[in-house]
Structure 1
Amino acid sequence: MKKFKMNLKILSAMTLGVGAVILLLNFIFLSAYPMVYALVNVAGAVVVIGIPLLYKFNQFKKIRVIEELFPKYLNDIAENISAGMTLPQAMRSAANIEYGVMTPYVREIASKVSWGITFERIMNDFAKKTGSKSMKRNVQTIIETHRSGGAMDTIMRSVAQSLVELEKIKKERSASVYAQMINGYLIFFVFLGVMIGLSSVLVPAFKMGEQTQDLQTVFSEIFRALIIVQGFFAGLSIGKMAEGTLIAGIKHSLVLVVIGYSAFLMFG
Structure 2
Amino acid sequence: MDFMKKKKTTEKETSENDKEQEIILEKIEERKKSSEGFNRIFSHPLQVLTEKPENILIVSVPVALIVFFAGFIDSTVQYGLRSLITSTFIDDIIFFSIIIALLPYAILDTKEASRRRNIETALPNFFRDVAGMNESGMTLPNAISTVSNGDYGSLTPYVKKMNNEISWNIPFIDAIFRFGERLGTPLAKRSVDLIAKASLAGGNVSEVLKAAANDSYEFVNLAAERRNNMMIYVVIVIVSFLVFMFVIAIMAGTFLSTMADAGAAVASSGTEVASAGTFGGSIDMDLYKRIFTHASMIQGFFSGLVAGQMGEGRAAAGLKYSLIMLATAWVAFRFFI
- 5 Å-filtered alignment, 1:114-133, equals 114-133=167-186
Stretch deviating more after TM superposition (74-83 or 220-229): 220-229
Q: In 2, are the aligned partners of 1:192 and 1:260 still within 8 Å (CA)?
A: yes
What SS does the aligned partner of 1:84 have? coil
> What is the Cα deviation at residue 143 of structure 1?
2.2
Q: In 2, are the aligned partners of 1:200 and 1:267 still within 8 Å (CA)?
A: no
The letter of the residue matching 2:324 is V
Question: What is the aligned partner in structure 2 of residue 231 from structure 1?
Answer: 300
Q: Distance in 2 between matches of 1:10 and 1:170?
A: 26
Q: 1:193 aligned to 2:224?
A: no
The one-character-per-residue Cα deviations of 1:107-136 (angstroms, maximum 9, x if unpaired) are 221122123333333233222222212222
**Relative to structure 1, is the Cα distance of residues 129 and 175 closer, same or farther in structure 2, using a 3 angstrom cutoff?**
same
Q: 1:262 aligned to 2:331?
A: yes
The letter of the residue matching 2:317 is A
**TM-score between the two structures when normalised by the length of structure 2:** 0.66
- Matched length: 265
Percent sequence identity over matched residues? 23
Question: What is the aligned partner in structure 2 of residue 95 from structure 1?
Answer: 148
Question: What is the aligned partner in structure 2 of residue 14 from structure 1?
Answer: 59
Q: Distance in 2 between matches of 1:243 and 1:231?
A: 18
> What is the Cα deviation at residue 190 of structure 1?
1.6
The letter of the residue matching 1:6 is V
2:313 to 236, 244, 257: 244
Question: What is the aligned partner in structure 1 of residue 187 from structure 2?
Answer: 134
Q: Distance in 2 between matches of 1:208 and 1:124?
A: 73
- 5 Å-filtered alignment, 1:212-231, equals 212-213=283-284, 216-217=286-287, 219-231=288-300
The one-character-per-residue Cα deviations of 1:53-103 (angstroms, maximum 9, x if unpaired) are 211221122111111111121122112212221011111222222323222
Q: Which has the larger radius of gyration?
A: 2
Which has the bigger relative contact order, CA under 8 A and spacing at least 6?
1
What SS does the aligned partner of 1:6 have? helix
The one-character-per-residue Cα deviations of 1:164-204 (angstroms, maximum 9, x if unpaired) are 22322322333333332322221111222234445555666
Q: In 1, are the aligned partners of 2:106 and 2:317 still within 8 Å (CA)?
A: no
Q: Distance in 2 between matches of 1:175 and 1:209?
A: 49
> What is the Cα deviation at residue 22 of structure 1?
4.7
CA RMSD of aligned residues (A): 3.3
Q: 1:46 aligned to 2:46?
A: no
Q: In 2, are the aligned partners of 1:57 and 1:247 still within 8 Å (CA)?
A: no
1:163 to 209, 213, 216: 216
What SS does the aligned partner of 1:169 have? helix
**Relative to structure 1, is the Cα distance of residues 244 and 52 closer, same or farther in structure 2, using a 3 angstrom cutoff?**
closer
Give ranges in structure 1 of 5+ residues lacking alignment: none
